[in-house]
Structure 1
């Protein structure tokens, strides 16, 4: 699903290779589209959060590795 407006006035929904004028769709369908847009935005936000957490975790691993270099393992 993609919402590809070509101008400020024209809002076109492309869904399964078909195009629809969003303004002419029933309110219920317009609300579903808005819900999908919110869900997409939330997914992007959480994906970005996961990326930040992964970078932080990698930094912690590097710090742990550095600290353990001077410690003898038990095996």
Structure 2
């Protein structure tokens, strides 16, 4: 990274890529809940994903998670 050139850009510093920031969410949310007994998962509704602001390099990142409900699926893990 060229920090001098980034300082002259529109954000005034280097910033993290949006998908890098997004990749931290499972780790942070994992402190709130755990999903067990599954063999595979899919990325669902990424088409509605938005990045409303930049994340300057070196920033602290946090997430806000609200667990609304837990319901058994009726299907066991398939392997």
**Which bin holds the TM-score, normalised by the shorter protein?**
under 0.3
TM normalised by structure 1 equals 0.23
Q: Greater Rg, structure 1 or structure 2? A: 1
TM normalised by structure 2 equals 0.23
More strand, by proportion = 1
Structure with greater contact order relative to length (CA < 8 Å, sep ≥ 6): 2
